[in-house]
Amino acid sequence: MENTAKKVTMEELVAFCKRRGFVFASSEIYGGFAAVYDYGPYGTELAKNIRQAWWKEMVQLNPNIVGLDSSIFMSPKVWEASGHVGGFSDPLAECKKCHTRARVDHLLEDIGVFADEKMSDDQINTLLKENEGKVSCPKCGQKDFSEAKSFNLLVKSNLGNFMGDMEDPVYLRGETCQGIYINYKNVVDTARVKIPFGIAQIGKAFRNEITARQFIFRKREFEQMEMQYFVHPEAAAEAYGQWREKRWSYYVDTLGLKKENLKWHEHENLVFYAKAAWDIEYNFPFGFKELEGVHNRGDYDLTTHMENSGAQLSYRDPKTNEEYVPHVVETSVGVDRTFLAVLTDAYTVEEFEKEDGEGKKSIDSRTVLKIPKKLAPVKIAVFPLLKNKSDLVAKAKEVFAELAHLYVCEFDDNGNVGKRYRRQDEIGTPYCVTIDFDTLEDDTVTVRDRDTMTQEKVEIKSLESYFRTKLNQK
């Protein structure tokens, strides 16, 4: 089998996601809605498996990490105290010809000049001036921009405001971790946790991203998986190093991403809450970009919420009686970016030799999603060899009903078996089970493996233990 080893392009991935029901553009029948996407049937399964893998890694396997599910809406005081109302912004400039607004750091990046959203307006405007006449408008191509200004990313809502104005807005959360800080005391008081301990949460976050680009990489409504690890101030540096190592091995060992597609990036300009920030970057079809941020947030968050709310958020060590404000190590990754990284890594076009009934060999090719089994949207596909043979169909339905109690399965009787294999390969189904005429005689089925394309006979009564071994969810 020869892997053509060509890196998948963004166009191929977007077309694949639409064609096979992984991702749809939101509100497509109304012409779409920028930077918002919907997960289709297979995408929903994949996203669910990504959440499960993260939850298992962070909560289930760590006795000192507990879960939380806080609301999307919080008091607007939370966002004022956290610094997001004042300081959570991207640099925006307007094209003087067509009035398109664009992120200046991205425009500079496009011409090879390093810039990021954490730079001050002055720093960004200096760079913009130095590159005058080089930076072009993404819409009309003109090279003349207004001065850059900071544009706040928080999304406003009128929830609970019946006056019809937006004078006292509330905000949709811009990051999920604020829900963790404001529940920190509730968890300490109720969950019998002792420092060091973590609180993990998965949930939607919203940002008014200026540039809607790169598919699900940068969405305005997206989903974060965040864990905040509370430690003694003197233990923060060590915990930070440990979490960086653990998160790296999660991507390599647990999600099976190719090592060469991952790298570390240290932030030079730190966001307002961070003492140190490293990103794990993934080699997406458009190059290496942030997949996960691992941040040392110091005592910034608990201190600011303590000062602004008046609540007592310090911690008293039950053994030493020492009282202190814990420091926080944060790991933060998007479901959507993990989804895109997993698909980029797994999408494979390969050539293989096949033989017809008379022994004649020829070269064929297939698209196969070599996704880790635990992430595959469908684990087992069940086929009756022929759709018009009622005994085969009835037996296949029996097998399907048994396996569907244990795994996400798909029943397929459309087209010939070869075509069904291709369809399942494309969505990454690890095993296909075919019920044929032998089944009616000896109660065996043919199990075909996605990666090796080999087939073996298995007794129906052994299928449960066979798949328990093969689909070991570890």
Residues of span 159-188 touching ligand GAP by CB under 6 A: 175, 177
**Is 137 or 335 the residue whose CB approaches ligand GAP more closely?**
335
Residues of span 360-389 touching ligand GAP by CB under 6 A: none
**Is 277 or 399 the residue whose CB approaches ligand GAP more closely?**
277
Q: Both ends of the chain: CA-CA distance in Å?
A: 27
Please state, in angstroms and rounded to a whole number, the distance separating the CA atoms of residues 380 and 22.
18
**Is 279 or 410 the residue whose CB approaches ligand GAP more closely?**
279
Told to check if 334 binds ligand GAP by CB under 6 A, we report: yes
Closest by Cα among 71, 311, 67 to 191: 67
Q: How many residues form the binding site for ligand GAP (CB under 6 A)?
A: 19
**Is 218 or 448 the residue whose CB approaches ligand GAP more closely?**
218
- Long-range Cβ pairs for the range 148-151 (8 Å, 24+): 148/91, 148/92, 148/93, 148/104, 148/121, 148/124, 149/91, 149/92, 149/93, 149/121, 150/89, 150/90, 150/91, 150/92, 150/121, 151/89, 151/90, 151/91, 151/92, 151/101, 151/208, 151/210
Told to check if 103 binds ligand GAP by CB under 6 A, we report: no
Whether the Cβ atoms of residue 417 and residue 385 lie closer than 8 Å to each other: yes
Told to check if 17 binds ligand GAP by CB under 6 A, we report: no
359 torsion bin: left (phi>0), alpha (psi -120 to 50), beta (else): left
Phi, psi of 117 (to 5 degrees): -70, -10
Told to check if 333 binds ligand GAP by CB under 6 A, we report: yes
Told to check if 332 binds ligand GAP by CB under 6 A, we report: yes
Closest by Cα among 230, 256, 257, 258 to 243: 230
Piece in contact with ligand GAP (CB under 6 A), picked from 194-202, 333-341, 382-390, 456-464: 333-341
What string marks each residue from 282 to 301 as x (binds ligand GAP by CB under 6 A) or -?
Answer: --------xxxx--------
Residues of span 201-230 touching ligand GAP by CB under 6 A: 207, 209, 218-219, 222, 224, 226
Told to check if 340 binds ligand GAP by CB under 6 A, we report: no
Closest by Cα among 257, 263, 261, 331 to 293: 331
What string marks each residue from 415 to 454 as x (binds ligand GAP by CB under 6 A) or -?
Answer: ----------------------------------------
Told to check if 116 binds ligand GAP by CB under 6 A, we report: no
Residues near ligand GAP (CB under 6 A) are: 175, 177, 207, 209, 218-219, 222, 224, 226, 290-293, 330, 332-334, 336-337
